[in-house]
Amino acid sequence: MADRARSIRRNSNSDTLADILERVLETGIVIAGDIRVNLNDVELLTIQIRLIVCSVDKAEEMGMDWWKRASYLTSGAPSADRSIDDNDSRTTADVLASLDRRLERLEKRIETGSGSAEANDAADDN
DSSP state of 36: E
Residue spans of the domains in the chain: they are: 90-126
Look up the pTM and report it: 0.37
Of the two residues 63 and 122, the one the predictor is more confident about is 63
d(C-alpha 104, C-alpha 122), whole Å:
15
Q: What is the mean pLDDT of residues 6-11?
A: 51
Per DSSP (E only), the strands in the chain are 29-39, 42-53
Stronger pLDDT, 79 or 32, i.e. the higher one: 32
Q: Which one-letter amino acid corresponds to residue 36?
A: R
Average per-residue pLDDT for the chain: 75
* Contact of 121 with 98, CB cutoff 8 Å: no
Helix (H) or strand (E) holding 4: helix 2-13
At residue 37, φ and ψ (nearest 5 deg) are: -115, 115
pLDDT in tens, 66-105: 878 777 776 655 544 444 444 556 788 888 888 999 999 9
Residue range 95-121: mean pLDDT, rounded: 80
